[in-house]
Amino acid sequence: MARSIGMAAEATVFRAVITKQLHDGTVTDYEGPYGSIGAARARVSFWTNYLADLNEETCEPTGTSRASGHVERGTVSWERV
């Protein structure tokens, strides 16, 4: 998916680092870059909710999840190629 990342030189960007416990092992994904910390946090929240553990009887969330994550901050350094 194309993303608009036009920004000033040395701009601050954010990415979501998501660790998922899947049936075939643990996977770490990186999503971004995002221009705001809120957008990256939203991706962490999405995966935490999407992979939430459910009670087998009631299908309600148990408060635990097979995903966790954090946000990292970085800067963009542009160079001509």
pLDDT in tens, 18-74: 999 998 999 999 999 998 999 999 999 999 999 999 999 998 989 999 999 999 999
In a domain, 57, yes or no: yes
The one-letter amino acid at 81: V
In a domain, 68, yes or no: yes
Q: Provide the domain count of the chain.
A: 1
CA–CA gap between residue 62 and residue 66 (Å, rounded) = 11
pLDDT level of residue 10 (50, 70, 90 thresholds) = confident
In a domain, 6, yes or no: no
Contact in structure between 15 and 33 (CB atoms under 8 Å): yes
In a domain, 5, yes or no: no
Residue numbers of the domain that contains 58:
12-75
Predicted TM-score of the model (pTM): 0.81
pLDDT above 80 for 14: yes
In a domain, 51, yes or no: yes
